[in-house]
């Protein structure tokens, strides 16, 4: 049996790392293909080095381009790789253009598809990721749902229960495998102390590509700093940085913009933060696992379990609402139970595939 693992972005590398390690431990025949959707050192290369992962067997080097063109380019280039390698199954993770393109290319060649993190739904059709995960789910042969909630969603959409497997989320595996390796020097480098700063990330297309929404997010940071006098550490995504400059917006006092970080440095910043404010789906999960309160600057979430256990509040982007949510979460207990898995998701996925 031959497995092909396709990935293309920072979150995919992090979440598929435990699956790659499980393949190595089992001495399975597998290859890793990188689409090149994320292509800078800070956004992708550093994660292979930090997580001690093997070099990808292929890098498609698609780079940055409009979503439709990027999806088409990955389908064509990945299709050629599949014709050469002839794997029995392709594993994809999440909701990016890489994921949908990989699934479509495999199905066109009658190769089975396994979707890791299947069944997530935000029900926000403005998000390109929502269509990517829906379409990928409906052409996959193995749907690895993180929790029973996603299994129910998939069954309601008409997917046969025999194709759905509840495995837990591989991000739990990755956090637990790497938390002891988290880079403690980052706090010294930034001259900050545990529980004396707020960590934030903002990058989503439907957020930062709109001047009004991005301006609201920055105004929310201003209000939060004025109320709590805690520095807001913001590792800047290239898209966010470009749009702040293009829209001629001002970064408010108290916001410290830094370059994107590796996973181990960022994991340490997450674990020691007083509060996390984000529009990222993955960081909602990571903050929940690490028991750090989270405020999500979006109108919806595909991770409702984090809200249900009290780890997260979906606040939208209106500054006053983000401030109110931040006050609520800063006053909250950190005693919630992690609903996302026990750290053995990758082992279950590989066991199912090989069986």
17 vs 52: CA distance, rounded Å? 9
Count of CB atoms situated within 10 Å of the CB of 355: 5
Residues contacting residue 196 through CB under 8 Å, at least 6 positions apart: 230, 231, 274
Phi, psi at 183, each rounded to 5°: -75, 105
Strand partners, 29: 2
Question: Is-contact 289 283, C-beta < 8 A?
Answer: no
What is the enclosing helix (H) or strand (E) of 276? strand 275-278
Q: Within 13 Å of residue 312, how many CA atoms lie on the same side as its CB?
A: 32
What is the enclosing helix (H) or strand (E) of 72? helix 67-85
34 vs 118: CA distance, rounded Å? 20
Question: Which DSSP string corresponds to 105-165?
Answer: HHHHTT-EEEEETTT-----TT-HHHHHHHHHHHT-SEEEESSHHHHHHHHHTT--GGGEE
341 vs 156: CA distance, rounded Å? 22
Question: Is-contact 56 81, C-beta < 8 A?
Answer: no
Options 34, 38, 115, 203, the catalytic residue? 203
Q: Within 13 Å of residue 267, how many CA atoms lie on the same side as its CB?
A: 22
| 203 carries an active-site annotation | yes
Active site residues: 203
């Amino acid at each position: 049996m031959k497995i092909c693992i396709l990935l293309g972005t920072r979150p995919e590398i992090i979440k598929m790392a435990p699956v790659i390690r499980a393949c190595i431990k089992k001495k399975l025949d597998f290859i890793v293909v990188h689409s090149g959707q994320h292509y800078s050192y800070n956004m992708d290369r550093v994660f292979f080095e930090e997580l001690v992962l093997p070099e990808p067997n292929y890098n498609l080097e698609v780079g940055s381009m409009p979503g439709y063109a990027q999806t088409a380019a990955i389908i064509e280039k990945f299709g050629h790789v599949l014709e050469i390698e002839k794997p029995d199954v392709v594993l994809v993770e999440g909701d990016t253009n890489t994921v949908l393109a990989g699934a479509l290319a495999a199905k066109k060649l009658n190769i089975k598809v396994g979707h890791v993190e299947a069944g997530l739904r935000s029900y926000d059709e403005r998000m390109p990721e929502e269509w990517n995960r829906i379409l990928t789910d409906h052409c996959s042969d193995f749907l690895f749902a993180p929790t029973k909630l996603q299994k129910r969603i998939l069954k309601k959409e008409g997917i046969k229960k025999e194709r759905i497997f509840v495995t837990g989320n591989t991000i739990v595996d990755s956090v637990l495998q790497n938390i002891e390796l988290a880079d403690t020097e980052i706090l010294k480098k930034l001259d900050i102390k545990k529980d004396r700063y707020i960590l934030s990330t903002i990058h989503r297309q439907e957020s930062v590509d709109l001047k009004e929404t991005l301006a609201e997010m920055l105004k929310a940071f201003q209000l939060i700093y004025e109320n709590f006098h805690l520095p807001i550490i913001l590792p800047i995504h290239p898209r966010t940085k470009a749009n702040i400059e293009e829209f001629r917006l001002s970064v408010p006092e108290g916001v410290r913009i830094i370059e994107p970080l590796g996973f181990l440095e960022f994991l340490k910043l997450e674990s020691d933060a007083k509060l996390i404010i984000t529009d990222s789906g993955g960081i909602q999960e990571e903050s929940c696992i690490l028991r750090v309160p989270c405020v999500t600057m979006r109108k919806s979430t595909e991770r409702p379990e984090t809200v249900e256990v009290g780890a997260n509040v979906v606040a939208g982007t209106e500054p006053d609402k983000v401030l109110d949510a931040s006050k609520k979460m800063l006053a909250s207990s950190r005693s919630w139970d992690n609903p996302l898995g026990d750290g053995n998701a990758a082992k279950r996925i590989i066991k199912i595939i090989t069986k």
